[in-house]
């Protein structure tokens, strides 16, 4: 579905078979629809994106704060080990557990969030997980000298953070208009980076001003409550996602929400076609009923869903294997060579990360997902190769201060790498996994993909010190190779979701549209869709489609639109396709 109202193109919403009201004159009802241009973003969809993105802020804030804590004097004294000379330190096991337990919690939280999100809904789930996260914060703040209490607190907070990392992109994707969905879902990553940046700033601030004060790290954890309250309470003022409401039989609520976020009246063409698409998919998906286990096993039997689960998990894996967290978690060492403190290092790297993520919001809608991700991969390969080579061949690793020039080069390459990551893979992978799955399996598919992100996050955080110890800066070559693979995966397996409705993207996977040609694909009519589903589907799906098809037949067809043959599926170019379609729709109105 394309956004109406761009200069020179009045109507885009004509690519689907617009059969609708049963037994009415389709031509007339179409002519009665409103085709007026819609705003790019309504106040409501903007406010919604900002509010739910608070979940990203909590993610970033929690992951970003711990590295600073480990260096705060009071935290060290309370939870560290006595070195015997009046100094305290953290053994690798203890610091590893305190840091990594959040990741373990997030992994479990991401998986646990799916059944709850399908059961009580996306919106209420957000409240529940905010509460759980709050309990984790309280346990941490209440810790006096028991290091394992901090660890347990982080595990519980992690459950909430992980669950929100599934719920937020899903809420945004299921609610946002298709023409701006990518950018709105990417605000999630923007808020992650903002959270990491804020944590670095607050750590630095409390460290500077309260060196020996027991409140320092507690203040930083405590500030997190503000984000939790804004999200947990604020979400109650927002509606359930239209896709979820529809699945629960609340059709009017779904339509009303769409109207609000699209900024369109109920009889607008965009609302009309979107509701039709949601309905068609719902009918096709809803026949197989069962408990959680049979639901999961039906997911892997459903057409092309296993493929998409594998793709989602792989993309999240490669998002982590870009190597970004190598810089965020272990960037301190390279900055030592030019004698910059670890607190300042974190502020600089995270500031760049946050600042340039804004560019990513533009790229995702302007160039599309595929082009920007592939460009991002190439960019990151180049800078990782440069980084690894300078680090290995030019830096004096025993005393980096001897080679300040190599240090400056490393900092530049690291910063340029982050520029590439934060504008492409960082934000866009969240958007990709939120649009990859059909409604019925979205929560579960996203849960598995998100869990893969957390698993690899943990593995990289945990194993990087060992790998760096063994192969020093040549570790960068490993990440460079991973970035090559990531780019190839996108090229060969990912279809372009820019400007498409979630339902259209689902159809592309069902129809096995070659990813390379997906940007130019024209959605099939409802009848063609029925055929595709009949060929692709399980018995149950076919049954459902037959029911749906009967409906379609009763409604009548629209000549021209439904007669388009397969050869018409790929247009010569996007512009031609849009203009052609627009002309056709205007015909219909006349
Ligand atoms: O911005 C960097 C941050 O983004 C993430 O990759 C999540 O998308 C985190 O794992 C990382 O710390």
Q: What is the DSSP letter of 89?
A: E
Position 590 pLDDT exceeds 80? no
* Look-up of token digits 């909430």: 160
409 CB near ligand 1 (under 6 Å): no
User: Is 167:55 a contact under the CB 8 Å cutoff?
Assistant: yes
Ligand 1 centroid to residue 276 C-alpha, Å: 36
Cα–Cα distance, 122 to 138 (Å, whole number) = 25
Pick the residue with more confidence: 155 or 329? Answer: 155
Question: Is residue 454 within 6 Å of ligand 1 at its C-beta?
Answer: no
This model of the complex carries an ipTM of 0.96
Q: Is residue 160 pLDDT above 80, yes or no?
A: yes
State whether the beta carbon of 353 lies less than 6 angstroms from ligand 1.
yes
The average pLDDT across 559-578 equals 32
Ligand 1 contact, 192 CB (< 6 A): yes
Pocket test for ligand 1, best of 55, 198, 312, 328 (most atoms within 8 A of CB): 328
| pTM of the entire predicted model | 0.81
Task: Retrieve residue 464's tokens.
Answer: 């990087």
Which residue among 192, 199, 420, 432 has the greatest number of ligand 1 atoms within 8 angstroms of its CB, and so is best to mutate?
192
Percentage of the chain beyond pLDDT 70 is 80
Atom of ligand 1 nearest to the CA of 63: 12
Q: Please tell me the distance from the alpha carbon of residue 510 to that of residue 506, in angstroms, as a whole number.
A: 6
According to DSSP, residue 288 is labeled -
Ligand 1 neighbour 193 (Cβ under 6 A): yes
Q: Which of 348, 356, 319, 307 is nearest to 331 (CA)?
A: 348
The backbone region for 514, taken as left when phi is positive above 0, alpha when psi lies in -120 to 50, beta otherwise, is beta
Pocket perturbation via mutation, ligand 1, pick of 357, 426, 427, 462 by most ligand atoms within 8 A of CB:
426
C-beta of 426 in contact with ligand 1 (< 6 A): yes
Query: Which of 116-130, 299-313, 333-347, 469-483 is predicted with the least confidence, judged by mean pLDDT?
Result: 333-347
Question: What per-residue confidence (pLDDT) applies to 543?
Answer: 40
**Mean pLDDT estimate for the chain:** 81
Gap between the Cα atoms of 297 and 303, Å rounded: 12
**Can you read off the two tokens belonging to residue 565?**
């043959």
Helix (H/G/I), strand (E/B), else coil: 9: strand
* Percent of the chain topping pLDDT 90: 44
């Amino acid at each position: 579905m394309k956004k109406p109202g761009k200069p020179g193109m009045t109507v885009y919403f004509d690519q689907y078979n617009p059969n609708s009201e049963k037994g009415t004159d389709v031509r007339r009802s179409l002519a009665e629809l409103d085709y007026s241009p819609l705003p790019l973003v309504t106040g409501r969809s903007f406010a919604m994106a900002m509010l739910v993105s608070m979940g990203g802020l909590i993610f970033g804030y929690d992951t970003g704060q711990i590295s600073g804590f480990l260096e705060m004097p009071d935290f060290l004294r309370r939870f560290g080990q006595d070195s015997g000379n009046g100094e305290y330190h953290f053994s690798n096991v203890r610091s590893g557990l305190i840091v990594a337990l959040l990741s373990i919690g997030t992994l479990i939280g991401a998986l646990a969030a799916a059944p709850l999100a399908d059961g009580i809904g996306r919106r209420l789930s957000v409240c529940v997980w905010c509460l759980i996260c709050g309990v984790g914060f309280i346990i941490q703040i209440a810790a006096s000298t028991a290091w394992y209490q901090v660890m347990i607190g982080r595990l519980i907070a992690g459950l909430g953070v992980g669950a929100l990392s599934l719920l937020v992109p899903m809420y945004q994707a299921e609610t946002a208009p298709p023409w701006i969905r990518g950018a709105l879902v990417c605000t999630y990553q923007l808020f992650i980076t903002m959270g990491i940046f804020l944590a670095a700033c607050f750590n630095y601030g409390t460290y500077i001003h309260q060196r020996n004060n027991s409140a320092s790290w507690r203040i930083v954890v405590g500030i997190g409550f503000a984000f939790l309250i804004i999200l947990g309470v604020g979400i109650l003022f927002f509606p359930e996602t239209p896709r979820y409401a529809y699945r629960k039989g609340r059709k009017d609520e779904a339509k009303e929400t769409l109207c609000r976020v699209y900024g369109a009246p109920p009889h607008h063409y965009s609302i009309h076609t979107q509701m039709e698409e949601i309905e068609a998919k719902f009918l096709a998906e809803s026949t197989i009923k069962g408990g959680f286990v049979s639901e999961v096993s039906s997911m892997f039997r459903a057409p092309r869903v296993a493929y998409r689960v594998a793709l989602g998990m792989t993309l999240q894996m490669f998002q982590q294997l870009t190597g970004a967290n190598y810089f965020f978690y272990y960037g301190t060492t390279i900055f030592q060579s030019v004698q910059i403190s670890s607190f300042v290092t974190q502020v600089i790297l995270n500031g760049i990360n946050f600042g340039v993520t804004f560019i990513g919001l533009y790229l995702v809608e302007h160039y599309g997902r595929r082009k920007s991700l592939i460009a991002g991969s190439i960019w990151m390969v180049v800078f990782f190769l440069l980084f690894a080579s300078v680090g290995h061949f030019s830096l004096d690793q025993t005393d980096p201060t001897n080679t300040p020039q190599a240090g400056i080069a490393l900092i530049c390459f690291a910063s340029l790498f982050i520029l590439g990551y934060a504008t492409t893979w960082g934000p866009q992978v969240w958007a990709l996994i939120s649009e990859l799955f059909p409604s019925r399996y979205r929560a579960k598919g996203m849960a598995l993909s998100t869990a893969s992100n957390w698993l690899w996050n943990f593995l990289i955080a945990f194993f990087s010190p060992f790998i760096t110890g063994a192969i020093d800066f040549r570790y960068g070559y490993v990440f460079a190779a991973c970035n090559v693979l990531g780019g190839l995966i996108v090229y060969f397996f990912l279809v372009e979701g820019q400007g498409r409705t979630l339902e259209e993207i689902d159809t592309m996977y069902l129809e096995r549209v070659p990813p390379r040609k997906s940007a130019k694909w024209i959605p099939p009519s409802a009848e063609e869709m029925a055929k595709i589903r009949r060929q692709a589907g399980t018995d149950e799906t076919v049954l459902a489609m037959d029911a749906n098809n009967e409906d379609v037949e009763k409604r009548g067809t629209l000549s021209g639109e439904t007669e388009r043959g397969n050869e018409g599926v790929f247009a010569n170019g996007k512009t031609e396709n849009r203009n052609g379609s627009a002309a056709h729709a205007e015909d219909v109105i006349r």
